[in-house]
Amino acid sequence: ERIYAHLLEAKKKQEKLLALLLDPDKVSLGEIPRLMKQIHLAEVDLLLVGGSTVELGFTEKLIEKIKVLSQIPIILFPGDYTQITNHADAILFLSLLSGRNPEYLIEQQMKAVPMLEKCDFEIIPTGYILIDGGHESAVQRVSKTLPIPQNQIEKIVHTAKAAMYLGNKLIYLEAGSGAINSVDKRIVKEVSTRVDIPVIVGGGIKNKSQLQEAYENGADVVVIGTAFENDQNVLQELSHKKDESIH
Ligand code: 1GP
């Protein structure tokens, strides 16, 4: 339970964590050495690996390549059970609780079991909550579920608290990859004050002020994906977060 213990410890110390999301379908293996240099310089704390749809075997190849170059914990963030590989250090075992499609509430999780029985990494049960990011996100398209509107704060909080009562160890507030609107600060604040498990926030976060805003409102981990895909220098802009983190 090394990675989850680290998340809890960071939360206790109010030390904010930066996670970078790499989609195995979007990064080429040849770029990895150069990307990893930037990732190390920027003191990225966690690497999430996954995507809504990923070609079979790509996740494993990407993780193998990263592992040669880096000690940063690699956490699977799978869009479906076929992305699971024992090369990772942990998995966000997601249940899409904002949606009403049984496939992403329990079916995919059951299909994952034969593979998980062969894996020895940490399994971190995560309540995954899709919030309207102002565009049709890949999660929405693939899962065929509706996001919760940003103004339904109580519904989002109740979903998060129910997730916690069910035994989930993390809450992931997701505006969707490439969101126009990231998760509103009031949502981040309400959820993080009313649940006592770590809160991850992602979707549409592009710059330092958005990152800081999420941290200041209680996000324990912020995920950056698209912004780094579009501009690999963005990590340097975000990298001094530790000096300026909120106490
Ligand atoms: C998507 O929350 C992640 O699942 C990251 O979103 O790609 O918009 O940074 P972005």
Q: Whose CA is nearest to atom 9 of ligand 1?
A: 225
Q: What is the Cα–Cα distance from 95 to 155, expressed in whole angstroms? A: 17
| Residue 160: its H or E element | helix 153-165
- Assess whether pLDDT exceeds 70 at residue 161: yes
**Residue pointed to by tokens 């549409």:** 204
Q: Does residue 174 line the site of ligand 1, with CB under 6 A?
A: yes
Could you tell me what percent of the chain has a pLDDT over 90? 94
**Which domains occur in the chain, in start order?**
2-241 (3.20.20.390)
Instruction: Please report which confidence band the pLDDT of residue 247 belongs to, taking 50, 70 and 90 as the band edges.
Output: very low
- Assess whether pLDDT exceeds 70 at residue 240: no
What is the structure's pLDDT at 239? 81
Ligand 1 mean position, distance from CA 166 (Å): 25
Average pLDDT, the chain: 96
Instruction: Please answer whether residues 109 and 93 qualify as being in contact, where contact means their C-beta atoms are separated by less than 8 angstroms.
Output: yes
Q: Whose CA is nearest to atom 4 of ligand 1?
A: 177
| Spatial CB neighbours of 70, under 8 Å, sequence gap ≥ 6 | 36, 39, 40, 47
Q: Does residue 50 line the site of ligand 1, with CB under 6 A?
A: no
Q: Whose CA is nearest to atom 2 of ligand 1?
A: 202
What is the structure's pLDDT at 196? 97
Ligand 1 mean position, distance from CA 20 (Å): 9
Q: Does residue 210 line the site of ligand 1, with CB under 6 A?
A: no
Instruction: Please answer whether residues 175 and 183 qualify as being in contact, where contact means their C-beta atoms are separated by less than 8 angstroms.
Output: yes
**Single-letter code of the amino acid located at 66:** I
- Assess whether pLDDT exceeds 90 at residue 177: yes
- Assess whether pLDDT exceeds 80 at residue 35: yes
What mean pLDDT comes out for the span 207-236?
96
Q: Does residue 177 line the site of ligand 1, with CB under 6 A?
A: yes
- Assess whether pLDDT exceeds 70 at residue 246: no
Could you tell me what percent of the chain has a pLDDT over 70? 97
Ligand 1 mean position, distance from CA 178 (Å): 6
Q: What is the Cα–Cα distance from 111 to 93, expressed in whole angstroms? A: 12
Q: Does residue 225 line the site of ligand 1, with CB under 6 A?
A: yes
The 10s digit of each residue's pLDDT in 82-123 is: 999 999 999 999 999 999 999 999 999 999 999 999 999 999
- Assess whether pLDDT exceeds 80 at residue 1: no
Q: Does residue 140 line the site of ligand 1, with CB under 6 A?
A: no
DSSP 8-state assignment for residue 148: B
